[in-house]
A and B are shown apart, each in its own frame.
Chain A
Amino acid sequence: MSLKPFNKLPELNTANVLLVENEERFQKKLADAIVLLENNVNVIVRLARSLPLPLENAESRPRIDLVVFIVHLNSEQSLLSAETSLKHLDSGYFLGKVCFLVTGARCGTLPYERLTSLKKMAATLNSPLLMTEDKTAEGVNTAAQRVLAVLRVAAGLVPMATGLYLSSLTRCTVPNDPDWQNQD
């Protein structure tokens, strides 16, 4: 069963975010940072290794406003796992309720192909791609701020803005790529 964005009613003054990461290295730190940063709104962070989510507590699970896929560029498995998880999301999520978080993009010894294929994936899904640093506290904090900014909009807490509107401005594009233009 795929996760649906609109089959449950939202709760008052609450934002739910789901962090999906196969390695479980970064999500805990990021979750703590997100919760500490936000004071006005009740932010609930849920963690998962991959989708689909288990059926047992599907009923009690609140509506999830934003799904964040964390991809580490230093392992192929991380990318493959995110790719398979994506299939279990309802298409409604791709109207501004999905974002990708990448770590390790600065490392010079990693294959460039991984970042390129991830960029293509994010671009086809009209989703934003955030580059983050997971090694330093400062980097985690910045990542948390960015995710939170997207989350507030996706959860409908910002007047006059919707997730779809934001993602049409921030979605990942692959410019100057002839292969990409041909697919269009």
Chain B
Amino acid sequence: MQNSLQIAWLIPLFPLIGFLINGLGRKQLSKSMIGVIGSGVILASFVMSIWVFLQVKDGNTHVATYFDFINAGKLKISFAFQIDQLSSLFLLIITGVGFLIHVYSVAYMHEEKTEHFGRYFSYLNLFVFSMLLLVLGANYVIMFIGWEGVGLCSYLLIGFWFKKDEYNKAANKAFIMNRIGDLGFLIAIFWIISKAGSVNFPDVFAAATGKFNGKEFTTTDITCITLLLFVGATGKSAQIPLYTWLPDAMAGPTPVSALIHAATMVTAGIYMVARSNILYSMSHLVMNVVWVIGLATAILAATIALKQNDIKKVLAYSTVSQLGFMFLALGTGAYVAAVFHVMTHAFFKALLFLGSGSVIHAMGGEQDIRKMGGLNKRMKITSMTFLLGCLAIAGIPGFSGFFSKDAILAGAFGRSPVIYAIALGAALLTAFYMFRLYATVFRGTFRGTHDQEHHLHESPSAMTVPLIILAILSVVGGWIGIPEFMASGANKLNEFLAPVFASSNQFLESRGRLHEIDHNTEWMLTGLSSLLIILVVVFAWNKFSRKPELAETKGLGRVLENKWYVDELYDTIIVKPLNWLGGVLNSVVEKDVIDGLVNGVGRAVNYGSRQLRLLQSGQVANYVLLMVLSMLVVFVLQFFLRK
């Protein structure tokens, strides 16, 4: 009997239909129609995803093969979807959060012209389609199609307001940075094909453990493949050294930042590593690289977020920092914690971004937090939900962020207390800058212009309802992963995802790299981190409610405000030398060498023919003489060359 999950192709089909209708009919359809179609198709996908999730929950996983995508010689790549615990969870996040953001967008973008409104929704639908393809793909090639698709949509949406040159530059930056990562991913795929002859996940993992058609990866293969895949992940998930595009990507509309640059697309790298978990587990070296990069990014981005004054930039760096946490979890082997944090982060970061969108909307496009303040009196719902989001991301006990962050910290402690200490530092920084942001925006007195104050209003219900739903999720979302030491058997997520990571955990355990920490220690660690976080929150709250940071910063603060001058550093060591090289190639190699060569050939032919012309004198005797002489030459040559 055919598996009922075979019908999963409907899930990405709905957004694709929405993309086509909205994209083609953007000039004919009315705004409300576009909004209904754009959101409706995502809702349909969401309903399908719930059904799929329930099926998977009953233990029904399935690889649905539809047709041959590439069939060349021995290589056969089928267009297939893999529906299992990991992908079904991501489906729920993408379509669920995606639907809320679509609804929010209808109100947020209502001032756009109908044509651009349609364009916006078609891009958004195309993005969801690509993201679903990425998550559902049953082999690396299908995943790569989605991977490129989301990159394209990210580019299109960052540069949505294409009349501003600055935004176009941000879009280009995001696209180019991603291309660097994508190249790594692509090379990894080629490597896999050449060594395993198949890109299907089970085949590749079997090849890694040495049980696939007699084909086996060597240690070098695994190291290189995982490293190259990780390069792809650093591009898409904004890790050092390719993270600088994400803060600039805030040029796009705020719901886009929420959907693409916080909740879904940037977690693609985490999904990919989690999907290839067995490969990573087998390479101790790359695991170390992953957590080092993750931890470094978490700290670096958190420090930058401390001094940013653009409400979206703070959230952007916070996203980079949280993604760093996820990679830290992956690198320490705490795969479930990483996926858990992806989920909770999707809730609270989407909430925070949408909240900031609501603030920006009310402020008439103002994004500088120094010109806000005291907004909690005029925007009760936004302020309340934003506060819940801040509490969740800071990791206050009971909120969703607490559980996922605690799981990551526990994993870090299992590897080494030093990693734990650094990660805890980053978590404290997170709590600090989030409450700096909250207190500066919502507490104190209003510091904007009189016009803006007059204009201040709570957003319409199409915007507040998604905020409320996401706020609820940010609070309760963590309860599915309550750690074992608090309540036995309460970690439903761990149980649910166990099959995906089973072989990996088995491998790590056999190598003695999975460290269980006893419950007393865990209580102590949780208590310590919670206490410190609460202290930091109270401190930041008091500090910035009373006296927000308005003055020019000096010293280290200035360095942080300028993002550690990383952009300038990249400009100096990569962009400028490349420009210089391009200039040299243009002015020297192109003009002198290439042009010289081409013109030289022409001039040589010209000159040579002018000399040869003299031979044609018109004198018959000359011709005969030449003929005789050349015959003589032929004879002489013949004579001497003869053996």
Partners in one complex: no
Interfacial residues, chain B to chain A (CB-CB below 8 A) = none
Interfacial residues, chain A to chain B (CB-CB below 8 A) = none
